[in-house]
Amino acid sequence: SPPPPQAKIACNAKDTAHTRAERNILEAVKHPFIVDLIYAFQTGGKLYLILECLSGGELFMQLEREGIFLEDTACFYLSEITLALGHLHSHGIIYRDLKPENIMLNSQGGFEGELGSLGGSLGAVLTPPCPSGHIKLTDFGLCKESIHDGAVTHTFCGTIEYMAPEILVRSGHNRAVDWWSLGALMYDMLTGSPPFTAENRKKTIDKILKGKLVLPPYLTPDARDLLKKVTPPNFP
């Protein structure tokens, strides 16, 4: 039998606004690699979201245990994350908070039927189970809706180490920021830490804006090439 659903509760006005936005997005987008909203209700000023239970835990904990991922494992997870982000973008939604803590893993099994909705070739590629299950994007409170081709937004949000430069300088950003964050996440998976880190927030921001992307020599040529393309340093 499937695991029981889990509840997410919002109490104050800010949390309620974020949770209401999350509810709207989860009602609008359904995808094998995005957490399922079972139902939502509000009582006494509190908004409840009942989400599917993802018993595989956070990708963050998996990465903490292993230190780094083998490239094949990272490629598997990144492929699924890419499909989820692409689906959001096709609905005019920027995710804006991609980080290991917001990526959950389902338990193995019972997933192959959902993969069929991706189409024959993609479903076949992703059907072999990864040792820790498939990914599910969660926590959509910082998403921005109605951002289609050519549109930008200026909100400062996200987690610094995975935050694209254009968000940091408030120059206006679009869905490209999710691909920058994906590059930072890829770097974290393959090396054990995000590409730009320092002892405090200000120095971390300076590194993201001005630092040089250092690629360990053990990375394959394909990995190095992709990281250079999706996480370009020296923001203009």
Question: How many C-beta atoms lie closer than 10 Å to residue 74's C-beta?
Answer: 19
Contacts of residue 156, Cβ cutoff 8 Å, sequence gap at least 6: 167, 168, 170
Alpha carbons 231 and 213: distance in angstroms, whole number: 8
Alpha carbons 94 and 207: distance in angstroms, whole number: 24
Alpha carbons 95 and 140: distance in angstroms, whole number: 7
Detail the DSSP E strand segments found in the chain.
Answer: 6-10, 37-43, 46-51, 103-105, 135-137
Query: DSSP class of residue 106?
Result: P
Enzyme catalytic residues: 97
Amino acid occupying residue 96: R
